[in-house]
Amino acid sequence: MAKKDSSVPSSSRSAVESVAEKKPAAALTQLVTAVEMGARQREISVSEFFTKNRHLLGFDNPRKALLTCVKEAVDNALDASEEAGILPDVTVQLEVVPTGGTTLPASQATRFRITVTDNGPGIVRQHIPRIFAKLLYGSKFHRMRMSRGQQGIGISAAGMYGQLTTGKPVQIISRTGPKAAAHYFEVQIDTKKNEPLVHENKQIAWDQPQGTQVTLEVEGKYQKGRASVDEWLEQTSIANPHVRLIYRTPEGETKEYPRTYHELPPSPREIKPHPYGIEFGMMLKMLQDTKGHSVSGFLSSDFCRISPQLADEICKAAKVSPNMKPRDLKGPVAETLYQTLQNTKIMAPPTNCISPIGEKAILSGLYKQIKGEFYTAVSRPPAVYRGYPFIIEAGLAYGHRPEDQTKPKQPAGPKAEGEGEDEHSELARVIRYANRVPLLYQQSSCSTFKAVLGTTWKHYGISQSRGALPGGPMVIFVHMASVWVPFTSESKEAIADYDEIQKEITLALRECGRRLGLFLRRRERAASEFRRRNIFELYIEEVVEACNRLKGGKLPKEKLKAQLQKIATSRTGGLKTDEALGKTGGGPEGLPDSIIVTAEGIEGAVEIAQQVEADAPKAAGAAVNDLSDKEQMAATNQGKKQKKEPAKPEKKAKNKPVSRKSAKSEKSPAPRGKK
C-alpha cells in the first residue's frame, strides 16, 4: 500500500508551498517577472530534496544518524533473510575512522565505519547499484505485506548521508549462493539525477557462502544510553529472538545476542488493498493502472474481500455500469463509487498478511534480555483500522531476579520514617516496536505510550502517579504488526493514535497487568506466609518457657518446642503453600504465557526459559572477548587449585549434619513446570 503515491514523497508538497509563498512578495516589489520565474522552475530530484531535508529520514544529528544507518542496514538484512526463509545471522560492526591521522576514542570520534553482514539471500548483481544508490528503489513498496522496510529509501538514504558527510561511497559485497561468485561494489548516488554511479565492480573471494555485507562510512557520534545504537540492538534482539546478532562496538567489545527462538516467524502473505483502507486519490490511480477491463472486474480483482457478485452489487448501488471501462471512471461518478465502497458492508481483510512475534517468542526475548522475576506476553487477535489489519502484542518483565533481590544488603534494624521509600521512585520503561523494529524516539506522542499511561496500573498492585508511567522495576513491551503502520511522521518514530489501535493496545496491556497483579498478589501471600512463620517461631520460645515455668520447670522443653515448630510449619504451608503458588485457575500455575522466576527455579513457560538458558553460555549480551592471556592464566590456576585439594571439600560435605537446604533442593527439580 502506497503512502506516497508517486515518485515524490508527500513531504515535497511543503517544498512546493514554500516556493509559492515567495510569490506574493515578489509580485509586490515587482522585482521578478513571471517569465523570469518560469525560467527558474526546475524539477527537484528526490535525492536533492532529501539532501536538504535529511531530518525527515532520521539524520537530524550525528548521534541519531549513526543509529539510522545501522537500523536501515539491519532492517534490510532481517527482511531479506526472513523473506528467503533463512534464520538470520547478523553482524554489526562499528569502527572509529581515524580523522586527521589520529584515532580518537569512540566517545569523541566523529567518523565511523558501519559494516552490517547478513546470511540472507544476497542480491542479484544488476540490482545492487540501484538498491544502494537510488532513492525510492525497492521491492517492498508496491505490496501489501508486513515488513520492516517499506519505502525503498532506507539504505540508499543512509548511503547518501555517508556520501554527503564523508564523501565515501557505499561498499557492498553480495553473494546469492555458495556456487555463485561474490560481487564487490562501490557505489555513489548522483543526487541531481537520483541515479547510481558505480565506482568499483569486481568479483572477489568471500568467506561467506551467501549473504550481503554493506559498509558505510558516515559522520556520527557514539554515545551509549537512551536511544543509542546499543539500546536499539538490544531491543531488536528482544523482539527478534530468532535472530543471532553479533555486535562489535566501536570500543572493541563484542556483544552477542544468541538465537533463543529457533523458528522463523511465519512468512506473512501478501494481500490486496482493502476498500476501507484506501484513499480516494489512491483509488483513482488504481483505476488507471488496473488490468481489469470493467469496473466490476477491477473491484473484484484489485481489492481483497470483494467477490464478483459483491462488485456488481456495489456498482448497482453506486449507479455505475459494471461494464464501464475503469479508465473512464472519473469525477463525481468515481467519488460516488468511492463513497459506496466505504459504506458497503465488506468483510474485514484477511490477517495472514501479518505475522505477529507470538507470545512464546516475546517471552523468550524478554527473558533473554531482561533480568526479572515475572514475564508475561499477550498477542491480541487481529483487528482492523482504516481497512488495514493489524495485531497488537504486549509483554511485561517485572522485578529483579531472586539472586539480585538480596544483593542490596540493607542495614539491619528498624527503618526510620521515610527510609526505604526511594525504592519506589523507579518508573517502568516502555519499549515500543512497529513490525519488530524498536522505536526509540518521540515516545510521548506514540499511541503505545499513551495507552500505557491510560492504563490504571493500580488495579494490578502497581503504583502510579496521575498521568505518569507506572512505578517499579518493570519493562513494558508493546508491538504493533501491520501491513501499514500509521506513523506520526516520515521518520517512523511514533505510532499514530487511532482509536482501534489504542483500544487493542489497552486490552493487551490490561491482560498483562491482570496477570502481573495475580503474580504480585500471590507473591505477597507467600511473603505473608513467611512473615507468619517468623512470628510463630519468634514466640514459640516464649510460650515454651512460660509453660515450663508454669509446670514448675519439669517440662521436656525441646519436645514441646519441636512439636510447636512442626505445627507452625504445617500451618504456614510448609516450604511453599499451594495457596502461595496459586494453584487456582487454568494454565500453568494459572497464568498463561508467563514465566515466573523464583529462588527455587522457573515456573510457567519453562521450556522457553530453558531454551534461553541453554543458549546463554554463549553469554546473552555479555562481553565475549576472546579470553585474554590473563584470564586464561586465571582459569588454569583455578583448575590447579581444585586439583590440589580435592579431598577436603568432599569430606566437609559428608560430615555436615545434613543441611536441610541441600536435601530439599535435591528433592525438587529446579524448574517447576507444567504438570
Ligand X SMILES: Nc1ncnc2c1ncn2[C@@H]1O[C@H](COP(=O)(O)OP(=O)(O)OP(=O)(O)O)[C@@H](O)[C@H]1O
Measured from the Cβ of residue 52, the count of other Cβ atoms closer than 10 Å reads 11
Which is nearer to Mg ion, 154 or 275 (by Cβ)?
154
Interaction of residue 76 with Mg ion, rule CB under 5 A: yes
Interaction of residue 570 with another protein, rule CB under 8 A: yes
Residue 343, CA distances (Å) to 233, 346, 506 in order: 44, 9, 28
Interaction of residue 193 with another protein, rule CB under 8 A: no
In the numeric block, which cell numbers belong to residue 55? Answer: 531530518
Residue 252, CA distances (Å) to 90, 94, 95, 160, 255 in order: 17, 9, 8, 27, 10
Pick out residues in 184-223 that bind ligand X (CB under 6 A): 212
- Tell me which residue of 306, 404, 305, 300 sits closest to 351, measured CA to CA: 305
Burial letters 440-460, b for 16+ CB under 10 A, else e: bbbbeebbbbbbbbebebeeb
Please state the closest distance from residue 557 (CB atom) to another protein, in A: 11
- Which partner in another protein, Mg ion, ligand X, none is near 120 (CB below 5 to 8 A by kind)? ligand X
- Which partner in Mg ion, another protein, ligand X, none is near 268 (CB below 5 to 8 A by kind)? none
Interaction of residue 77 with ligand X, rule CB under 6 A: yes
Residue 482, CA distances (Å) to 1, 387, 392, 627, 665 in order: 11, 11, 9, 44, 47
- 68-76, 264-272, 518-526, 585-593 -> range binding Mg ion (CB under 5 A): 68-76
Q: Are 254 and 246 in contact (CB under 8 A)?
A: yes
Phi and psi, residue 252, nearest 5°: 85, 10
Phi and psi, residue 619, nearest 5°: 70, 105
- 70-78, 252-260, 377-385, 608-616 -> range binding ligand X (CB under 6 A): 70-78
Which is nearer to another protein, 327 or 531 (by Cβ)?
531
In the numeric block, which cell numbers belong to residue 559? Answer: 519436645
Please state the closest distance from residue 519 (CB atom) to ligand X, in A: 39
Interaction of residue 356 with Mg ion, rule CB under 5 A: no
Pairing of strands 437-439, 388-398: unpaired
Rg for the chain, CA atoms, rounded: 31
- Which partner in another protein, ligand X, Mg ion, none is near 123 (CB below 5 to 8 A by kind)? ligand X
Which is nearer to Mg ion, 147 or 572 (by Cβ)?
147
Which is nearer to Mg ion, 457 or 484 (by Cβ)?
484
Which is nearer to another protein, 31 or 412 (by Cβ)?
412
Interaction of residue 531 with another protein, rule CB under 8 A: yes
Please state the closest distance from residue 564 (CB atom) to another protein, in A: 5
Interaction of residue 68 with ligand X, rule CB under 6 A: no
Which is nearer to another protein, 202 or 559 (by Cβ)?
559
Report helix, strand or coil for 65.
Answer: helix
Pick out residues in 454-473 that bind Mg ion (CB under 5 A): none
Please state the closest distance from residue 152 (CB atom) to Mg ion, in A: 8
- Which partner in Mg ion, another protein, ligand X, none is near 549 (CB below 5 to 8 A by kind)? another protein
Which is nearer to another protein, 535 or 653 (by Cβ)?
535
CA distance 656 to 637: 28
For 448-453, which contacts have Cβ atoms below 8 Å and span 24 or more sequence positions?
448/478, 448/480, 448/495, 448/505, 449/494, 450/497, 450/502, 451/478, 451/502, 451/505, 451/506, 451/509, 452/428, 452/476, 452/478, 452/509
Interaction of residue 567 with another protein, rule CB under 8 A: yes
Pick out residues in 386-425 that bind another protein (CB under 8 A): 413-414
Interaction of residue 543 with another protein, rule CB under 8 A: yes
Q: How many CA atoms lie within 13 A of 167 on its CB side?
A: 0
Q: Are 335 and 280 in contact (CB under 8 A)?
A: yes
Which is nearer to Mg ion, 149 or 399 (by Cβ)?
149
Interaction of residue 539 with another protein, rule CB under 8 A: yes
Name which position in 190, 289, 423, 541 contacts another protein (CB under 8 A).
Answer: 541
Q: Are 60 and 208 in contact (CB under 8 A)?
A: no
Report helix, strand or coil for 623.
Answer: strand
Which is nearer to another protein, 570 or 628 (by Cβ)?
570
Pick out residues in 146-175 that bind Mg ion (CB under 5 A): 149, 154
Interaction of residue 459 with another protein, rule CB under 8 A: no
Residue 329, CA distances (Å) to 6, 285, 310, 318, 656 in order: 20, 11, 19, 12, 92
Name which position in 47, 119, 151, 594 contacts ligand X (CB under 6 A).
Answer: 151
Interaction of residue 540 with ligand X, rule CB under 6 A: no
Interaction of residue 527 with another protein, rule CB under 8 A: no
Residue 427, CA distances (Å) to 115, 231, 396, 398 in order: 35, 18, 14, 12
Question: Would you tell me which residues interact with ligand X (CB under 6 A)?
Answer: 72, 75-77, 80, 118, 120-121, 123, 131, 137-140, 149-156, 212
Question: Would you tell me which residues interact with another protein (CB under 8 A)?
Answer: 413-414, 528, 531-532, 535-536, 538-539, 541-543, 546-551, 555, 560, 563-564, 566-568, 570-571
